[in-house]
Chain A
């Protein structure tokens, strides 16, 4: 699975599941960049069907609605949607 890694301060494993067309996803990505934290992201809408299935199962494990953006922190905590305050609180 091809994640794009964005360099920054290491604050644990931050994984952003996103859609390339989604404005909230884009805002979340920009916010993480502005916070200068290291994270990796993947655009679900650009995946091949078999990869997509795998990613959706992953996303739904943390977010049963299967919506985007879903930000998973260290494989346990999750922030669903562009929740600026929450993201700043956790990573700011």
Chain B
């Protein structure tokens, strides 16, 4: 599978978008510019290959429904930023890492292995007039029949929501 190398301009453009999105939503990109650009390039390559911007540091299946959890930003970002100072790839980092006060720790894979990845049926708790839906990326909760087209907090698409209660 040969994929054209992303151009400098494409990398610049996506880097700028991610930088703006991150800073306006309380996230930080890695202070290591070279790392950010290598990862942005990987995201562009994956978008071309698979049709969705999956994590460059994980193996995609090519089936979007099986890879929703690793579409960047992945479902595991926030927990890894808290635990290790960076997401699995180190594209997103904590404030402490951004400012140079802390270093990134090696980040073990938090995503369940493929055999254990069978879809978990959403647990349904009772007592509410509407389902409570949760954005798996940023944790945003809303009570409505269907998720919003895009998460109003972090902007990911509606497929990234799960039933929470």
Contact = CB atoms under 8 A, between A and B. Distances in A.
A81 B108 CA distance: 7
Interface in B30-69: 35, 38-39, 41-42, 45-46, 49, 56-60
A19 to B, nearest CB: 6
B59 A68 contact: yes
Contact of A23 (B42, B45, B60): B42
B90 interface: yes
A67 B106 contact: no
A21 interface: yes
A67 B58 contact: yes
B39 A23 contact: yes
A46 B1 CA distance: 6
Is chain A's interface secondary structure helix, strand, loop, or mixed overall? loop
Contacts of A66: 59, 113-114
A65 interface: yes
A6 interface: no
A22 B1 contact: no
Contact of B106 (A20, A23, A45, A82): A82
B35 A23 contact: yes
B57 A22 contact: yes
Interface residues of A, number: 22
- Interface-centre pick from A21, A46, A56 (highest chain B CB count, 10 A): A21
B107 A81 contact: yes
Interface string B102-145: 00001111010110000000000000000000000000000000
Contact of B57 (A23, A80, A83): A23
29 contacts: A20-B45, A21-B45, A21-B56, A21-B57, A22-B56, A22-B57, A22-B58, A22-B89, A23-B38, A23-B42, A23-B90, A24-B57, A24-B89, A24-B90, A44-B59, A45-B49, A60-B113, A64-B113, A65-B109, A65-B111, A66-B114, A67-B109, A67-B111, A68-B57, A80-B108, A81-B106, A81-B107, A81-B108, A83-B106
Interface of A: 19-26, 44-46, 56, 60, 64-68, 80-83
Interface of B: 1, 35, 38-39, 41-42, 45-46, 49, 56-60, 89-90, 106-109, 111, 113-114
Given A60-B113, A65-B109, A80-B108, 9 more contacts: A19-B59, A20-B45, A22-B89, A23-B56, A23-B90, A25-B57, A26-B38, A68-B57, A81-B108
